[in-house]
Amino acid sequence: MDRTERFYKIQRMLQGNRAVPRHAFLDTLEISPATFKRDLEYMRERMGAPIVWDREGGGYRFDASDPAASTWALPGLWFSEQELRALLTVEHLLESMQPGLLGPQIGPLREKIRNILGHGDHSAEEVIRRIRVLPMASRKLDPGRFQSITQALLSRRRLKLAHYRRQSGETLERVVSPQRLVHYRDNWYLDAWCHLRDALRVFSVDAVANVEVIDEQARTVSDTVLDRELAAGYGIFAGSDTRTAVLKFEPTRSRWVSRETWHPEQKGTFQADGSWILEVPYSDPRELVMDILKYGADVEVVRPLTLRRLVASQLEKAARRY
């Protein structure tokens, strides 16, 4: 146990407004009387801790007569138990979504939080036992490559990466300026300015075969431009030139779909027969078609005609397989 951790434990033991005997400190901290004495002197002289010896109580306590006693705390960032549980819950959710991705960085913090919280009804073990995240169709990432991408993103440096294009089966090497990481449908994507294409592109992080941080300032694209170019279309496919798809869901299926968010700018209305009309913008139809197909006979593409024909052709191809 290092000295900073000992200071924190001493503070916690004294926060109960009671005198704590010296042997309790020695047993808990597992230190010698001489080390404990040095710790107290350091906390009093360097940190202004209002710690006094209570002769009647037979131990140390915070000096109630000192105005600072009720508010004194160690310098730095400290959390309440409720905040620590919330932090641990978030860490658990991230680990569940992508196991091992943040382990090397978050692991030590997780152990410290668990030690602080201890055991009981709201312990760290209870968080893990009671909360489950079940990722579906998530693709495995290389933690080292993900860390390099994150490093370049936050330090505003360029990346040299080799990206595997699944559709063509080829791997292209390019230099990009990372703009933001996006976790979408259980997978990670990198929005970046591609210096090869001189345009914004979206890269699936799991398809990055090799990555190198370059000591060169990244080009910064404003959030307004990023949203206009990348968020206007449907799903992960970029494009600012959008059209509107009008979909009609059968009454039974409408009870579910009417509560779903397909796009931030979507519009939806119930019809007299209980069906649900959903309007969503899109630029590239690929992901939208996949989402439409999963509802089978429960949905109809009303317009545009090009999208209607595309979905119909996919359904015909699927029917021929059976």
- Residue 98, number of CB atoms within 10 A of its CB: 21
Q: In degrees rounded to 5, what are phi and psi of residue 66?
A: -85, 120
The pLDDT score that the predictor gives to residue 240 is: 80
Closest to 159 in 3D by CA, of 174, 139, 180? 174
The pLDDT score that the predictor gives to residue 7 is: 87
The pLDDT score that the predictor gives to residue 85 is: 64
The pLDDT score that the predictor gives to residue 243 is: 94
89-126: per-residue pLDDT in tens?
Answer: 776 666 666 666 666 666 666 666 666 555 445 566 67
Is the torsion defined by CA of 174, 180, 181, 185 positive or negative?
negative
pLDDT along the chain (322 residues), means of 10: 81 84 93 93 87 92 81 65 66 66 64 58 66 78 90 95 92 96 91 95 94 96 92 81 95 96 95 97 95 96 97 96 94
The pLDDT score that the predictor gives to residue 79 is: 57
The pLDDT score that the predictor gives to residue 320 is: 96
**Residues shown for the chain:** 322
The pLDDT score that the predictor gives to residue 124 is: 64
* Long-range own/partner contacts, residues 261-267 (CB < 8 A, 24 or more apart): 262/234, 262/291, 263/234, 264/231
**Can you spell out the DSSP letters for 230-285?**
IISSSTT---SS-EEEEEEE-HHHHHHHTT--S-TT-EEEE-TTS-EEEEEEESS-
The pLDDT score that the predictor gives to residue 39 is: 92
At 303 the three-state DSSP class reads strand
CA 143 to chain centre: 15
Q: What is the CA radius of gyration of the chain?
A: 29
Q: Against a cut of 0.85, is the pTM above it?
A: no
221-241: per-residue pLDDT in tens?
Answer: 999 999 988 888 888 876 788
- Residue 280, number of CB atoms within 10 A of its CB: 23
The pLDDT score that the predictor gives to residue 260 is: 96
Residue 9: Cβ-neighbour burial (10 angstroms; 0-12, 13-18, 19+): middle
The pLDDT score that the predictor gives to residue 143 is: 86
